[in-house]
Structure 1
């Protein structure tokens, strides 16, 4: 059994963007700002450099073993079926839990906007995404590209509208917690930028994987770094870093400064648009890991 190589650079990058640009940045940005202050942008650059180093390791393995399953497949080949089984089940379970969490978050945010039942919305989302993937990863990839384009446009608008309201005096002091604060924020940034590994999970469906996978991983991390840097620049420029650090909804708080009461609503809409792309990326990871384990006899074929 094998999979069709239908995904090019555009689809692969969109798949990874959907996994990375989820609700995490809208929450974790406040945590990172609370640790580093305005220098949080430097912390995210450090985090991106670490992501690229790790991404290059994944890309090297993906080029050697361009098969479905990602990390599970590499461990199974190099360390044997026992370790492969442990990693495969752990990986599969982690993505399963993550997709459930994301879908529930989608239901809650949609409920806050429209009053739709949260649980029904979450289940409906999973069913719709399941149907899209049954129709084929190429069709699913097209939908993913569309969602990601909307996300990028909205984040760029956030930067464009907020840029002219930035108060540069809020960037002083630039490093209120010193280098230790930057390193602590870099760890949070690293966690918020994880998700590009979904690309290697679908390695068996990549056209020319030796070029597509490394190119997609590096371009994806750099693109997300630019988007996050813009969001952090505006956020720390319109609200005190201490306020952002103590807020449960930092991006909504920042948007309220230059968009008024419509700001939090806009942020909720962005999250509702972003979460289906995140859930879709996780579902692809789940199914490809299960497929690889089934092919190797660790799950029913």
Structure 2
């Protein structure tokens, strides 16, 4: 640990864990390995089929502009993540960044967001696997399929990080090939010019196309932001990425850019290549119906099984992230000592936070037995809150001492300000839409629980809060002296 009297004795952050003691992860990932795991957690193919298809049904050609605008916003948020992660390249994702820039109280709130949303997202994904595997294996029970998938994914996430990079990378290759094929099908059967997509239109009650209003376009943007979400996952692996202070920004920005392109290009090609937009937008499963019309049932079955594999791949990647969140918080002392000691342990063989990863896997298994609508509402609005904290932290971070060699976003403070304005707009739209009140209420309750946890436990236990505050300040000392 560095001290004010001996700053030169501190080891560089690239070879240190944190100043609070605890386990140290293996710094063995290159930029490519980080990107592979991060993109696997995003799962562009499943986003195109599931979220993109839902967007077609609701917003029609508004998906074109909506997803482009969402892509710009996502890249602005990615710039915020990049600067924050470069200054604090430690495991823990949003929690680590927010706690070290905005303080332990907002950090506790963001920790609660991740603690609840990450395992529940795993449960949501797992419950959908049977829908896609069912085209090849009849009679699969969604619940027990989800339980088996989560158990296998959690076990895989306990392997060493390089093994996970290879496993997720192999799945990701298949997933991206499916997206390339989908794009190819649209390009070779173009039915309309690109200009037909410039005027946002969606299905009306009569089954025809009608202009999409501003509110509908904003909702399409919101769907796009949710679809692209996950590039911030690169931060969870910062402590395992070589020369992270200089490379983590590159891994994160590449992940965000590839995600945007990997989703908007096939979605656009589908709209250009569909026989009629009315049939596409009116289908129960728009992307699947386009695929089936262009390839037939046999090839369509293969692609849908590929999507099932993509979902499993995403579950593995998110399980990796979830374990690192719990590990980082335990190592910081953000929970009772008895829990912290167990959850901050690192396997001597794999250099992985096995106890924390298994714990989050168990929470995900429990989530499978929660009604699906409750799962969706419990995770629906947490993303906007998380992005809000990240953008605010990026706006504040330059008040801290500068760190030699760290990434500095261009045009600061424009990216975090624009991101905050976009997130604020999303909140306003959500408040005006009664259908989103439950989701917003649950998310607000999670945030409130985090602040309450800080007030009741962390603030009242000097040992715990000392670890958080000392770690934040000593991190900066180490970074400045590195």
* Same-fold status (TM-score > 0.5): yes
Post-superposition offset of 1:201? 1.7
Which stretch of structure 1 is more off in the superposition, 219-228 or 197-206? 219-228
Structure 2 residue corresponding to 1:88, chosen from 107, 111, 115: 111
Instruction: Tell me if structure 2 keeps the 8 A contact 1:133–1:139.
Output: no
Q: Distance in 1 between matches of 2:36 and 2:275?
A: 31
Report the counterpart of residue 222 of structure 1 in structure 2. 257
Post-superposition offset of 1:295? 0.8
Post-superposition offset of 1:81? 2.9
Report the counterpart of residue 230 of structure 2 in structure 1. 195
Change in 2 beyond 3 A, CA 1:37/1:108: closer
How many pairs does the alignment contain?
301
1:205 is aligned to 2:240:
yes
Q: Distance in 2 between matches of 1:185 and 1:241?
A: 17
Off by >4 Å, runs of 4+ in structure 1: none
Q: Distance in 1 between matches of 2:278 and 2:236?
A: 39
Post-superposition offset of 1:288? 0.5
Instruction: Tell me if structure 2 keeps the 8 A contact 1:38–1:236.
Output: yes
Structure 2 residue corresponding to 1:254, chosen from 267, 285, 290: 290
Equivalent residue of 2:37, what SS? helix
Post-superposition offset of 1:78? 2.8
Change in 2 beyond 3 A, CA 1:290/1:264: same
Q: Distance in 1 between matches of 2:197 and 2:69?
A: 20
Instruction: Tell me if structure 2 keeps the 8 A contact 1:38–1:171.
Output: no
Report the counterpart of residue 33 of structure 2 in structure 1. 11
Structure number having the greater helix percentage: 1
Instruction: Tell me if structure 1 keeps the 8 A contact 2:28–2:241.
Output: yes
Q: Distance in 1 between matches of 2:144 and 2:124?
A: 14
Instruction: Tell me if structure 2 keeps the 8 A contact 1:104–1:118.
Output: yes
Report the counterpart of residue 84 of structure 2 in structure 1. 61
**Cα RMSD (Å) of the superposition?**
2.3
Which stretch of structure 1 is more off in the superposition, 39-48 or 274-283? 39-48
Q: Distance in 1 between matches of 2:252 and 2:284?
A: 30
Q: Distance in 1 between matches of 2:268 and 2:197?
A: 14
1:287 is aligned to 2:311:
no
Equivalent residue of 1:69, what SS? coil
Q: Distance in 1 between matches of 2:293 and 2:39?
A: 27
Instruction: Tell me if structure 2 keeps the 8 A contact 1:33–1:241.
Output: no
Post-superposition offset of 1:216? 1.8
Post-superposition offset of 1:241? 3.2
What CA deviation, in whole Å up to 9, does each residue of 1:186-205 have, x standing for no partner?
22111100011111122211
What CA deviation, in whole Å up to 9, does each residue of 1:122-158 have, x standing for no partner?
2222222222222211111110111111111111112
Change in 2 beyond 3 A, CA 1:146/1:242: same
Gaps of 5+ in 2: 1-22, 202-210, 341-482
Q: Distance in 1 between matches of 2:280 and 2:36?
A: 29
The structure with more radius of gyration:
2
Report the counterpart of residue 334 of structure 2 in structure 1. 298
Which stretch of structure 1 is more off in the superposition, 164-173 or 74-83? 164-173
